[in-house]
Chain A
Amino acid sequence: MPSIVERDDFGAFFTVLRDMGYEIVGPRVRDSAIVYDRLGSVDDLPIGITDQQDKGFYRLMKRDDRALFGYTVGPHSWKMYLFPPRIRLFTAEMHGNGLSIVGEHYNPKKLAFIGVRACELHAIQIQDRIFLNGAFKDPVYESQRRNIFILAVNCTVSSSTCFCTSMGTGPKVGSGYDVVVTEVLKPRHQFLVDTATAVGDEVLSKVRHREASMEEVEHAMSMVEDNAKAVSMKRSIDTANIKELLYNSYESKRWDDVAERCLACANCTMVCPTCFCSTVEDVLDLKGEHAERWRLWDSCFSDEFTYIHSGSVRRSTAAKYRHWITHKLASWIDQFGTSGCVGCGRCITWCPVGIDITEEVKALQQLNKER
């Protein structure tokens, strides 16, 4: 049975997790945005703050309450911890004809993710398939993934860019968390709390709580359900036959239309919680004896991404955007058995020219019908 934790007791999650050896990371305000960073205490959360999001638009505003989770997702996603933007893969030394290569020992800190949304849990599970479920396991991802605690949040607010209900990823948290909370502001500021793992139970046992009544559960869940309705009314994608739609649209005239707007800036791929592309950078000292290989986030929007000796395969912005959206919504399904899109809306908000993946799909659907 779910529990109730009063607002005044919520901060205990932070002290309990810290006592268990976790470094706490979660949403906080920095540079006029809600980003993920280290949190010292519950007071570091964006209390009483909300975000207003639209195509190419993001603003923070004051709420008229003291909600801890009264906003949606910002430019960061949890992949920055599990799939670091920049990490060394190995160090190499060359002395005479002798080469030695020393790998990295990844001893990541135990991290507690606070405020993980339903769409973000799906994104983590999608990246699990890429980094852990293939023929090769990524040692960087695997070592950190084993060392996280997840406190998830059911969304009771949404942005105009959210379309999780279309993708079946939210706003209600499904699986993959240790503790899930639903923030209730009225009549009392409290949290409906449930656990899914033994470590989740252990954490909750150390936080003052009581059993929730049926009415309390229903009240909290109705807020999430109301939010689901709100999301589906704001923005949606019709995902029926979406793979076939994209595969049949390689030669659509829509790509030239997108290319007139798209700057190929790569923002959408950087903010996307599932985009997993990376490159490597080899650095060498002047004597040619000491080298390091680093892995960096990469984007399919860069020219170098597809470079082979005869030039880049995808040079035009039209081809780059076509690749990105076709991968995200179609080939991802063939590759990993799931869509690459969780409907978080980040690519819409952070696109400097406001290209909207849901609108592009609608346009392709329209053109497909006319054919």
Chain B
Amino acid sequence: MGAENYNCNDCNSVNPYLPRIYKVKRVKRETHDTFTIEIFADGFRFMPGQFNMLYALVGEVPISISSDPADGKVISHTVRRVGHVTTALCSLNVGSSIGVRGPFGNPWPIREQEGNDVVIVAGGLGLAPLRPLIYYLLSNRGKYGRIFLLYGAKTPKDILYKNELSRWKARFDIDVYVTVDRADGRWHGNVGVVTSLIPRVHTDLMHSSAFICGPEVMMRFVARELINLGFNDERIFISMERNMKCALGICGHCQFGPEFICKDGPVLSYSRVARLLSIKEV
């Protein structure tokens, strides 16, 4: 990855409303309702935490990029099938065309955290925008201190990226803890909300950074617990979600107070948005 921030590979020179067309490599089923769409995107550069607008004739939706930023050939997007656009996306076949605009948005400020211990907290599908960050950290392992990954899913069936989680768990240079809200008979792991894993975190509090993604209420509770532990709120980062139509800061939909989540976010420091997060319906 170069030093510059990548933003919308060529949107500035061409009409920024036009999707570029890519081919689908495969659509992998992750859980009963969640799929990872892999597309051939040779030379597509992005930073962990950025997102694309995916277009499938019936409409367009913002989806974070969930693949390894060092890949360079294939990018992937993990999509939950909840509406008509995501249903169309999840039904794409190998070799289908897909429209892509991006990458957009403010990435996880990972380089600024070099030398720090890193705590990653994900809830549900929130693991998707964090996966490129984990790949990046593991590729640049020597530049960071201890790394913790805390992941909470609703049930064992909702756990994403099971293969990667097993691989990461097997490593000695990252501590991975997974919990579920509701267990089934075959689950031998932790049960409880993801904040229940926070006591497992042991970092150098003066030099610790946290990256959180999940439902807003979960991010708020996790951030509060980390602050209670002694984390600096300026080094806690969250990734937010809002309705987006343009991803260019023009349509107005994604506003959160003064922030446009599409361009000032989706990644924001907790200190910047903590007050607004505590107010309903902003």
- What chain A residues lie within 8 Å of B15 (beta carbons)? 90, 103-104, 139
- Min CB–CB distance A352 → chain B (angstroms): 23
Complex Cα spacing A305 to B99, Å: 23
B253 close to chain A: CB less than 8 A: yes
Per-residue contact bits, chain B 28-60, to A (CB 8 Å; 1 contact, 0 not): 000000000000000000000000000101111
User: Is the beta-carbon distance between B242 and A284 smaller than 8 angstroms?
Assistant: no
Given A331-B258, A335-B258; A298-B251 close (CB under 8 Å): yes
User: Is the beta-carbon distance between A90 and B17 smaller than 8 angstroms?
Assistant: yes
Tally of A-B Cβ pairs under 8 angstroms = 132
Complex Cα spacing A280 to B16, Å: 14
- In the complex, the chain A residue whose C-beta lies closest to that of B93 is A97
B1 close to chain A: CB less than 8 A: no
* B contact face: mostly helix, strand, loop, or mixed: loop
Which listed residue (B19, B80, B253, B280) contacts A306, Cβ 8 A? B253
Contact residues, B59-98 vs A (CB, 8 A): 59-60, 80, 82-83, 93, 95-98
User: Is the beta-carbon distance between B18 and A334 smaller than 8 angstroms?
Assistant: no
- What chain B residues lie within 8 Å of A279 (beta carbons)? 245, 251, 253
B229 close to chain A: CB less than 8 A: no
Complex Cα spacing A305 to B254, Å: 9
Complex Cα spacing A132 to B200, Å: 49
User: Is the beta-carbon distance between A309 and B80 smaller than 8 angstroms?
Assistant: yes
- In the complex, the chain A residue whose C-beta lies closest to that of B248 is A136
A323 close to chain B: CB less than 8 A: yes
User: Is the beta-carbon distance between A319 and B57 smaller than 8 angstroms?
Assistant: no
Which listed residue (B245, B250, B258) contacts A131, Cβ 8 A? B250
Which listed residue (B215, B255, B276) contacts A327, Cβ 8 A? B255
User: Is the beta-carbon distance between B255 and A331 smaller than 8 angstroms?
Assistant: yes
B112 close to chain A: CB less than 8 A: no
- What chain A residues lie within 8 Å of B281 (beta carbons)? 313-316, 318-319
B7 close to chain A: CB less than 8 A: yes
Interface bracket on B: 35 or more
Contact residues, A286-302 vs B (CB, 8 A): 288, 291, 293, 295, 298, 300
- Min CB–CB distance B180 → chain A (angstroms): 20
- In the complex, the chain A residue whose C-beta lies closest to that of B253 is A305
Per-residue contact bits, chain B 258-282, to A (CB 8 Å; 1 contact, 0 not): 1010010000000000001001111
Complex Cα spacing A130 to B258, Å: 14
Complex Cα spacing A68 to B269, Å: 55
B243 close to chain A: CB less than 8 A: yes
- Min CB–CB distance A134 → chain B (angstroms): 5
Contact residues, B2-24 vs A (CB, 8 A): 7-8, 11-12, 15-19, 21, 23
User: Is the beta-carbon distance between A92 and B11 smaller than 8 angstroms?
Assistant: no
A238 close to chain B: CB less than 8 A: no
- What chain A residues lie within 8 Å of B255 (beta carbons)? 323, 327, 331
User: Is the beta-carbon distance between A99 and B97 smaller than 8 angstroms?
Assistant: yes
B193 close to chain A: CB less than 8 A: no
A89 close to chain B: CB less than 8 A: yes
A94 close to chain B: CB less than 8 A: yes
A276 close to chain B: CB less than 8 A: yes
Given A136-B11, A331-B258, A335-B258; A280-B60 close (CB under 8 Å): yes
- What chain B residues lie within 8 Å of A92 (beta carbons)? 55, 57, 99
Instruction: Known pairs A279-B253, A305-B253; list 12 more (Cβ under 8 Å).
Output: A90-B15, A94-B57, A98-B97, A100-B21, A103-B15, A134-B249, A137-B16, A138-B248, A276-B250, A280-B251, A282-B57, A316-B281
* A–B Cβ pairs within 8 angstroms, 25 of them: A92-B55, A97-B93, A97-B97, A103-B15, A135-B248, A135-B263, A136-B8, A136-B12, A137-B16, A250-B282, A251-B279, A276-B250, A276-B252, A277-B251, A280-B245, A280-B246, A282-B58, A284-B57, A293-B60, A305-B253, A306-B242, A308-B243, A319-B281, A330-B258, A335-B260
6 nearest A-B residue pairs (beta carbon): A99-B97, A277-B252, A319-B281, A334-B258, A331-B258, A136-B248
